[in-house]
Amino acid sequence: MSHRICSVVSFEIVGPYRLRVEFDDGTSRTIDFLPVLRGEIFSPLRDRIVFEQVRLDSAFHTLVWPNGADFDPATLYEWPEDTAQLEQVARQWESGTVGRR
């Protein structure tokens, strides 16, 4: 995954676990978060009430949730290209194997 410098400027809930995210360069992405809501930090977001408490952090220009979950804005921007890799990492979060060799 590459990491460009970008900022989230707005978002809209467009469905269950789906957000339309707008970036500072005018790009828009509709992201289905459900496949990556695994592991200690992200699995609480499977509760739709918690997921829909998402907000835009004005300091870091990204999406954040009350439990401390967030995504780097570059990860959100690159989501369409990196979906398979993100889902694989989420499965590792769930199994507790991230960082093990």
Q: What is the pLDDT of residues 30-65, one digit of tens each?
A: 999 999 998 888 999 999 999 999 999 999 999 999
Domain with residue 88: its CATH number is 3.30.2020.10
- Assigned domain for 101 exists: no
DSSP assignments along 66-96, one per residue: TTS-B--HHHHHTHHHHHHHHHHHHHHHHHT
Residue 77 lies in a domain: yes
pLDDT tier at 80, thresholds 50, 70, 90: confident
Does residue 58 belong to any structural domain of this protein? yes
CB 87 within 8 A of CB 42: no
Question: Do residues 11 and 21 lie in contact, with contact meaning Cβ atoms separated by under 8 Å?
Answer: yes
Residue 90 maps to a domain: yes
Domain that holds residue 50: 8-95
* Count of domains forming the chain: 1
50 DSSP assignment: H
Angstrom distance (rounded) from CA 95 to CA 101: 14
Residue 2 lies in a domain: no
Q: How many CB atoms lie within 10 A of CB 94?
A: 16
